[in-house]
Amino acid sequence: MQKMIALLVSLAFSVSMAGIAVAQTPAAKPAEAPKAEGEKKPAAKKETKADCLKMAKDDAAKAECEKKYAKKEEAKKPAEKKEEAKKP
């Protein structure tokens, strides 16, 4: 009879320890501190012509990308030529 009681007590102890281990929850993550006003957000990545063409689904969207970046390239070229002319 003593062996049966010892077996029952050890079984109850094992089951309770297993239950306690399962019931434990992971530690809560600490809340992030609010950012100071002086801190700047990372600069947004500028969209390039290649990115625009990758995202374009149809030919009309691709044509718009071509026009958009063609205008930007034309605006850059005259400015570069003026700077080169002033150097010599």
The residue ranges of every structural domain in the chain are: 48-88
Q: What is the pLDDT of residue 17?
A: 92
The region that residue 34 occupies, defined by phi over 0 for left and psi between -120 and 50 for alpha, beta otherwise, is beta
In the chain (88 residues long), the average pLDDT of successive 10-residue segments reads: 95 93 74 64 67 80 81 66 56
Q: What is the pLDDT of residue 5?
A: 96
- The reported pTM is 0.33
Are 18 and 38 in contact, with CB atoms under 8 Å apart? no
